[in-house]
């Protein structure tokens, strides 16, 4: 079993999640590239396709960046990828079979980040630090 940089064992759900998010990032970049290619070959809707292509590539790069941070146990990566998975994944469920598959992949990836083993990993690796109240209690 591999470990994170602090020696906390990396659970199977986190290994699967990190690979799945890297795959999702690659698919987003490929989809963006496909939109850019289609924008070059079609006159109609070329501006919209160009915008979707740029957005897809940008989201893919962002997803890839945070996917590599998952193994370090950064809560910000889990929260960012979950938000991205929900905001992008849910609307894709209603955009045809190929985009529905991407939406399901993103939602599956987000769900993996909240499995009990993943939550325990984050609790050990990056615990929530509570700010002291005015009374001095934690």
What was the pLDDT predicted at 73?
Answer: 81
Mean pLDDT by 10 residues, the chain (138 residues): 59 91 94 90 83 93 93 87 94 90 92 91 75 54
Query: What is the predicted pLDDT for the residue at 45?
Result: 78
Cβ count within 10 A of residue 94 = 9
DSSP string, 67-132: HHHGGGT-HHHHHHHHHHHHHHHHHHTTS-HHHHHHHHHHHHHHHHTTSHHHHHHHHHHSPPPPPP
Delimit the domains of the chain by residue range: 12-123
**C-alpha torsion 22→23→25→28, nearest 10:** 180
Q: What is the largest CA-CA distance in the chain?
A: 66
- Structure confidence at residue 22 (pLDDT): 95
**pLDDT of amino acid 130:** 52
Q: What is the CA radius of gyration of the chain?
A: 18
**Nearest-CA neighbor of 109 among 17, 14, 12, 26?**
17
Q: Please state, in angstroms and rounded to a whole number, the distance separating the CA atoms of residues 39 and 21.
A: 27
């Amino acid at each position: 079993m591999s470990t994170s940089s602090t020696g906390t064992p990396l659970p199977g759900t986190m290994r699967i999640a990190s690979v799945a998010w890297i795959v999702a990032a690659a698919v987003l970049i490929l989809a963006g590239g496909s939109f850019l290619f289609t924008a070059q070959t079609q006159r109609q809707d070329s501006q919209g396709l160009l915008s979707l292509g740029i957005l897809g590539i940008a989201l893919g790069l962002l997803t890839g960046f945070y996917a590599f941070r998952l193994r370090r146990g950064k809560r910000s990566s889990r929260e960012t990828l979950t938000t991205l998975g929900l905001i992008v994944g849910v609307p894709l469920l209603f955009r045809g079979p190929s985009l529905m598959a991407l939406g399901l992949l993103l939602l599956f990836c987000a769900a993996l980040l909240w499995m009990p083993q993943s939550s325990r990993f984050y609790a050990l690796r990056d615990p929530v630090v509570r700010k002291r109240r005015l009374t001095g209690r934690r």
